[in-house]
Structure 1
């Protein structure tokens, strides 16, 4: 990452030259700013990062090099655009703006209001939503806060009931994770939660079990959302179950929102009451969250009277002052920039390639002898079940990391322990952003295969313990040399592909 160009986006201040690395705090220097002489009382504020903080600058560049030389296969990661990076590094980070456009608790927000309203407008347009029927709050700091804020808006603080997909089966921690004797997520701490599951034989969501459990549990909210489930969701079936139990249907589309925006997979908006999402995964935006909520008629009473949604005020109040203070205006601008790009033909083409690349990855790994959970994928990610080769996800993740392939260990249906899973999750959004096509993904799959075979060979020497396995892989001269050779091969391959940066 070259940081000097970033400074050009932050205004037209000409930096003075200093004899010393850090100028005296008491120094007062005049510089030209927008054609006017302006005083700098603290010259250190104008220093670029490489001068102001060489230690941190070196680490940022180290991470930049890692991203360029490695293969990012973590399904929740992506490379954002230059326009989003410019928003994040802009003067918008300086402004406090608690409240909503037109109703702030601070002055000086006339431009910030325009940015947030533009962001809201673009969010609705990107997903083809009628502003008379849908609204959106763009202030959540990320996906998990957005989920808790949505829960609070829908059912308050009365320990309402929530059902979400169980974590080992592909659900997200924010959907209500509980251990046997401990509530682990905010949803389970503040609300009563009950998981639904996948069928252990097929790995697919068991909608019949969900229907029966919902009938007994009577949830206030049913969540249709996943973090490691590689198939599309039957939103119509979810809605039928929700209506039968007078439940709100909340869709968490954090992983798939880019695919939904491009229209390449089914949308939750036809059926859901509330839709939450992050903006940094398949949407390729900043690290932030959004909450979409319905407006207008929710249902009709037995007497024929319209029952209206009242979610706008409740969602906005749950975000601020319920859980947050001032919004991150630089991130909101970044969302607006990302939504503009998500409305282009190029973005739809990108998402189409994300899907074809992921299907190619699944097919190639199957041909190489690996078991793919649910026997394939409908979306941007897949799960490799490593139980048939007796390799834990932790060992697979560590081995692949040593050769510059980033993925994450993950539970697969039927895993006995969420802490020691036998699967890895792989995704294609980041590699597709770098320009990889299906033929490149075949090469990536072969690299993964070589890495996993290396792990199996190391395990024969190290035995079952992870600490011994790591030592063998990195310190045994034979294995360290194999790691070095394979890592160099992968780095040479990865550096052929583009990463957007300032």
Structure 2
């Protein structure tokens, strides 16, 4: 029967594309801050027969029979999440961080209610209220920005903004802000205007789980996140809250925002969360931050301007306008891609170019740290990046950097 055949016979083009993607990952330096490489165990869980099972509802209360084993999987994912982040309730069913945020909004907001969040061009996220996203289409959105001189959030300015616009929910969290959030201060700001506080930790889940980044657990009504970035678990999202909001959150996800959970992804989350409870993961998270710090130091020494002057976590935001005024983020991304260094173009505070062109690049260290890169290697990578940015059309530099990238990839494979 057809379904008993191996992939390369059933769908050879798909098999070939997967092989090519594995080869691409192995032969390039992945530095997109939101990407990582999961373990073989997570891959095994996500590629398991759990993909066959419908499990609408929650453990012990499903709408389908035969759920006893997927109940075990989801219960383990929930318990691991609660242990890692120290909150009363966890929902591990959201298909993404955006759907996790949707679940929070649906649980406590009505259409037209007001969100106060960080502007996308200053490091925020689409699901925090951008007008092309459901959040900006359903809700009235006000946004705060970073200080243009320092690159840091001015919390006094956020407090004044909140008093002026009277939001129903205040969002802390970002996709390209390189500094820690002051979750306690954001919570005070929210309390002063009788608003909820949603902390979106999508990028820093692993750093918080390992204790190397501040946690919002004691300071936020809701905590959402992605499960596939710094925490290296199965791809998706999750929500945490106290017991008071548990039923509303669960109802907002199912049946409010989505149908049956992807149980193979929930299994991947459970495995990744279990891995994150080990001492090895704590060392990994510490190295992620150390690598980003080294990258920032070397970039600065080589003349690149960094938003806020550096980083507290796993990512850096490079503003090219002063050091390379003729180079757009799009051009920088393409030039680096050509030599096997994968980053993404990114808007910067005070951006004048479109989001498809941009004036900056975002650079992250989680994936290279998974490959066992340490500070010495990050110094080398920083020099390679700046060499390319300085001379993006120089064939000799291109060839030299490509050769060094090849050597690093061979020395530090992803999957043995």
TM interval, shorter chain, is over 0.9
State the Cα distance separating 1:72 from its structure 2 match: 0.5
Correspondence for 1:328 = 262
Q: Summarize the alignment of residues 104-143 of structure 1 with structure 2, pairs less than 5 Å apart.
A: 104-129=62-87, 134-143=88-97
Tell me the distance in 2 between the aligned counterparts of 1:348 and 1:128. 16
- CA offset digits 1:54-107 (Å, max 9, x no partner): 222111111111111100110000000111101110000000011111111111
Q: Which residue of 2 aligns with 1:493?
A: 408
C-alpha distance in structure 2 between counterparts of 1:448 and 1:483, whole Å:
11
Q: Helix, strand or coil: the match of 1:120?
A: helix
Aligned to 1:495, the other structure's residue is in SS state helix
Moved more, 395-404 or 52-61: 52-61
Check whether the contact 1:90–1:330 (CA below 8 A) recurs between aligned residues: yes
DSSP-derived class of the 2:142 partner = strand
Contact 2:127 2:133 in 1 (8 A): yes
Matched, 1:356 2:290: yes
Q: 2:32 aligns with which of 74, 77, 80?
A: 74
Matches within 5 A, 1:213-292: 213-292=161-240
Aligned to 1:212: 160
Query: In the alignment, which of 325, 332, 335 is matched to residue 396 of structure 1?
Result: 332
Query: Which aligned segments of 4 or more residues in structure 1 are displaced greater than 6 angstroms?
Result: none
1:22 corresponding residue in structure 2: none
The answer on whether the counterparts of 2:292 and 2:365 sit within 8 Å (CA) in structure 1 is yes
* Partner residue, 1:152: 106
The whole-number CA distance in structure 2 between the counterparts of 1:137 and 1:255 is 18
Displacement, 1:111?
Answer: 1.1
Q: How big is the shift at 1:206? A: 1.8
Cα shift readout 1:425-472 (whole Å, capped 9, x = no counterpart)? 0000000000001001011111101211222xx3xxxxxxxxxxxxxx
Tell me the secondary structure at the aligned position of residue 164 of structure 1.
Answer: strand
Q: Distance in 2 between matches of 1:440 and 1:417?
A: 33
2:274 to 329, 340, 346: 340
Q: Shift in Å at residue 212 of structure 1? A: 1.2
CA distance in 2, matches of 1:345, 1:481: 44
How far off is 1:482 after superposition?
Answer: 5.1
**Quick one: distance in 2 between partners of 1:206 and 1:412?**
16
Residue aligning to 1:32? none
Task: Tell me, in whole angstroms, the C-alpha distance in 1 between the residues paired with 2:205 and 2:278.
Answer: 15
| TM-score of the pair, normalised by structure 1 | 0.80
Partner of 2:116: 163
Count of aligned residue pairs for this structure pair: 413
How many angstroms does 1:492 deviate by?
2.2
Contact 2:86–2:217 (CA<8 Å) still a contact in 1?
no
The separation in 1 between residues aligned to 2:122 and 2:21, in whole angstroms, is 32
Q: Does 1:367 align with 2:301?
A: yes
CA contact (8 A) 1:168 1:418 kept: no
Give 1:485 shift: 4.6
Q: Output the CA distance in 2 between the equivalents of 1:368 and 1:213.
A: 37
Could you report, residue by residue, the CA deviation over 1:228-263 in whole angstroms, capped at 9, with x for unpaired residues?
A: 000001111101101100000000000001000000
Q: Does 2:408 align with 1:408?
A: no
Q: Which of 384, 397, 400 does residue 447 from structure 1 map onto?
A: 384
**1:6 corresponds to:** none
Normalised to the residue count of structure 2, the TM-score between the two structures is: 0.97
SS of alignment partner, residue 316 of structure 2: strand
CA distance in 1, matches of 2:25, 2:351: 31
Paired position in structure 2 for 1:96: 54
Alpha-carbon shift at residue 114 of structure 1 (Å): 1.4
Is the CA contact (8 Å cut-off) linking 1:231 and 1:378 kept in structure 2?
Answer: yes
Per-residue CA deviation, residues 387-427 of structure 1 (Å, 9 max, x unaligned), is: 01211101100100111110011111222234232110000
Deviation at 1:484, TM superposition (A): 4.3
CA distance in 2, matches of 1:82, 1:113: 23
Q: Whose radius of gyration is greater, 1 or 2?
A: 1
What is the deviation of 1:185?
1.1
- Which SS does the other structure have where 2:406 is aligned? helix
- Separation in 2, partners of 1:85, 1:239: 37
Structure 1 residue ranges without an equivalent (≥5): 1-41, 178-182, 296-308, 459-478
Could you report, residue by residue, the CA deviation over 1:113-147 in whole angstroms, capped at 9, with x for unpaired residues?
Answer: 11111111111011234xxxx10111000111111
Paired position in structure 2 for 1:173: 126
Over 3 Å counting, the alpha-carbon distance change for 1:492 and 1:243 in structure 2 is same
Do the aligned residues in 2 keep the contact of 1:225 with 1:253 (CA within 8 Å)?
A: yes
Of the three residues 44, 57, 63, the one matched with 2:21 is 63
How far apart, CA to CA, are the structure 1 residues paired with 2:193 and 2:305?
A: 37
Q: Is the 8 A contact 2:32 2:363 kept in 1?
A: yes
* Structure 2: gaps (5+ residues): none
For 1:429 and 1:56, how far apart are their aligned partners in 2?
A: 28
